[in-house]
Amino acid sequence: MRNIKRGEITNESRNPLLVIVLSMLSISVPVIAADSPDAMEILHRFTEARKNFTSFIFEAETKTTFNYPQHNWTGTRYDKFECRSDGNRCRTRTSMWGNIDMIRSKNVSKEHPDYSSYLWDAEHVYYYNRDSQSGYVTLCREKDPGGIPDAYKNYAVSDSIYPGQIMGYTRGDKGKRIGEMLELAESLKLRQERLRGADCYVIEGVVKQHGEYTVWIDPTHVYHIAKIRIQRKENDYFNDRRAGKGDSIDSVFEVLNFERFGDVLLPKKCKLERTLCDAGDCNTNSSIINITNIVLNPDHDALKSFVPDDIPNETPVGILAFPSVEFIWKDGKVVDENGREIEDFLKKTDESQNKSKSNEKR
């Protein structure tokens, strides 16, 4: 994950398309029996099973290996990741160590990891990034000219490689769930395939200018995704970006096993393999994702899930509406160089949560 530059509000690299290579042994059943449900019915069951997965806390630890031949870079990165969402507000916090990018040749230690957080509190988007020496906050406000694009509001869930696929999203689809994307396909194909001991429904569809989607749905595990493959090619979109000549992505996400979290059966260990082809030059990375905790429908307000309380005092702040001015974070407030208050964000968060609770009581 690269660090956000000052004044920049994108989490993607210059070319966000990634191609994934995954080999696995499976036994195909070529046809669906005449009395079996069709693709749209299976898709409906899958969509219904995702309805309760909007408010959650998701924690995971990952190990990712990289191979970028044209940059003479190979390495291993480790992440400790948390995502919180209530269906509107969302937050991610990630500690990263190991060989985390190809710009810095030295390894980042686990004792002093790099850190990145993202928060959409229904009024503001905050990006906070910190390495071992310094940090920086990039801030967007809903009230500023242009507002905040939906893609930024949905980023923490929909564009995260961790809870996204489990909760029914895919990266690059601007916050749409997989079911919504497949409903846009001109036609859907349905077959069955045995995968890791389970007879899965496999739905295939091509969505114009978005790519080819193949989704393995496991009815024995509450219609969770067992595996998903998305192939994007030249001229296909990844969020608002269009793949150029010679660009492509073929990404595969696979659930390796399931476990109960509370009363709900959810994925426990997953694998994600990706290869990014940029004008014909291909790079690969492979992640093993160990999910350490999932809590559905927590009391986010009581937990202060969407409060920007991880930003140290004196951290420089850039507000996108004022690109030539640098502000300072102090006790939850943004102040100018003379200490004059620009906005009190912790106070605004408390007021917003109290208003939300008042509306619920009514």
* pLDDT given for residue 165 in this prediction: 67
Beta bridge partners of 299: none
pLDDT at residue number 13: 31
pLDDT one-digit tens code per residue, 171-220: 778 777 788 888 888 889 999 999 988 999 999 999 898 889 999 999 98
> Among candidates 184, 162, 144, 250, which has minimal Cα distance to 43?
184
Q: How far apart are CA 300 and CA 332, in angstroms?
A: 19
DSSP secondary structure, 13-61, as one string: -SS-----------EEE----TTS--HHHHHHHHHHHHTT-SEEEEEEE
Question: What pLDDT digit, counting tens, does each position of 278-320 carry?
Answer: 877 888 889 999 999 989 899 999 999 999 999 999 999 998 8
Residue 10 token pair? 């994108």
pLDDT value of position 215: 92
Residue 20, pLDDT above cutoff 50: no
* pLDDT > 70 in the chain, percent: 78
State the chain's mean pLDDT as an integer.
79
**pLDDT tens string 208-255:** 988 899 999 999 888 888 999 999 988 887 877 888 888 888 889 999
pLDDT of res. 301 = 92
Q: What is the pLDDT at residue 29?
A: 34
Residue 11 has pLDDT above 50, yes or no: no
pLDDT tens string 131-145: 877 899 988 888 877
Please give the pLDDT value at position 201: 94
Residue with the larger pLDDT of the pair 20 and 5: 5
pLDDT over 80 at 155, yes or no? no
Res 250: pLDDT: 87
Residues 6+ apart with CB under 8 A from 123: 141, 142, 143, 348, 352
> Which of the two residues, 52 and 238, has the higher pLDDT score?
238
Predicted confidence at residue 206, as pLDDT, reads: 92
Segment of 107-111, 166-170, 355-359 carrying the highest mean pLDDT: 107-111
- Strands 188-195 and 27-29, by their bridges, are antiparallel
Q: Could you please report the per-residue DSSP string of 213-279?
A: EEEEEEGGGTTEEEEEEEEE-TT-EETTEE--TT-EEEEEEEEEEEEEETTEEEEEEEEEEEEEEET
Q: How confident is the model at residue 99 (pLDDT cuts 50, 70, 90)?
A: confident
Compare 357 and 284 and report the one with higher pLDDT. 284
Query: Is the pLDDT higher at 354 or at 24?
Result: 354
Domain 27-303 sits in CATH at 2.50.20
Q: What is the mean pLDDT of residues 58-85?
A: 88
- pLDDT for position 7: 34
